Amino acid sequence: MGRIGQKIDLSDSDKQELLVMSRSNKLEHRYVLRAKIILNSSEGKKYEEIEKSLSVTSAVVSKWRKRFLQKGISGLRDLPRSGKPPIHTEYDKKRVIKLACSKPTDGYTRWTQRRIAKKVGMSQGKVQTILGKDKLKPHKTHYWCGKSTDPEFETKMVDIVGLYLNPPEKAIVLSIDEKTQIQALDRTQPELPLKQGQVRRLTNTYKRHGTVSLLAALSVHKGEVIAKTIEKNNHETFLIFLKQIYRKYPRKDLHIIVDNLSVHKHHKVQEWINSKKRITMHFTPTYSSWLNQIEIWFSILTRDVLKDGVWHSKKQLVDQLMEYTKTYNEERAKPFKWTYTG
């Protein structure tokens, strides 16, 4: 006759909790198994039945029945263990942190966890644990915009932001800048296209077919872009571009935002602008070209077109830039959403 243990009587709350544990897909298997042992025991099943249905030994059944009778559901948890004594001292941990926060030696620019581990004589995993507790990441760098030295920074910044948020009535606000030295890079071997189980592949070796510069203007409140490739980035090509824009928007006041490049401030450019009542130039503060929204579009262009691009000629690159600009205007052009709330 099979062994029959004392029947376990469960309260409604304990039974419900044990049922949830026994059906869980997230709990570790050992906890699910223990809950099932107690539930089976509450139904008055013999040891033999429980052992057979759960594939456990009588010792296991006896252990968790006893623990439950003594401490309830909390008795089904593992007892705390003393654990392996730490090999490294508090001094060692402080040494790791101090090293991670110091300037590297031997010509390196930054520390890696592997080099720190080698330097202090411990495993990389231990170094990672120590640094992780203090959220130290010596292998990473974050950049921020340095403070402009322009004494008129606030005046110029408010002027430009004002154009973005509250433009003059019936006026066009244009952000203009150049993206220079775009390389028409070809690869020495044909690219291997994306296929199932394999990413697109390019050779590291390449051929140059020259460079292209792009002069572009973003209509801030419509999102449309006027772009033109140029051979030389000088005041003459910039002035030709300004005249093209002037003709494109007849009888409209034009507010043009540019950075402090000498081309934009050339005396011939300024003479022409001063002769036109409809154009006003607004210069970003020194070291603050990020205020110019055309930089956002250049970032989009880089991701969509220039990154990992392959061109067999300079003309192919020029054609693609113009095609992309046309597609962007037809399908995606819209004002950039202002999110700053400060």
Please enumerate in sequence order all residues whose Cβ is within 8 A of that of 15, keeping only pairs 6 or more positions apart, or say none: 39, 42
Please enumerate in sequence order all residues whose Cβ is within 8 A of that of 320, keeping only pairs 6 or more positions apart, or say none: 305, 309, 311
Neighbours of 173 (CB within 10 A): 22
What per-residue confidence (pLDDT) applies to 89? 81
Whether the model clears a pTM of 0.85, i.e. scores above it, the answer is no
Does 5 have pLDDT greater than 70?
no
What per-residue confidence (pLDDT) applies to 2? 55
Per-residue pLDDT tens digits for 269-294:
999 999 999 999 999 999 888 899 99
Q: In the CATH scheme, what architecture does the domain 153-191+202-331 have?
A: 2-Layer Sandwich (3.30)
Judged by DSSP in three states, 219 sits in strand
Q: Token pair for residue 216? A: 């572009």
Residue ranges in 101-194 assigned as alpha helix (H): 113-120, 124-133, 153-165
What per-residue confidence (pLDDT) applies to 271? 96
Q: Token pair for residue 296? A: 């956002």
Rg (C-alpha) for the chain, rounded Å, is: 35
Question: Do residues 172 and 251 lie in contact, with contact meaning Cβ atoms separated by under 8 Å?
Answer: no
Top pLDDT among 218 and 49 is at 218
Work out the mean pLDDT of the chain and round it to a whole number. Answer: 89
Per-residue pLDDT tens digits for 76-113:
888 877 766 667 788 888 999 999 999 988 889 989 99
Phi, psi of 192 (to 5 degrees): -100, 115
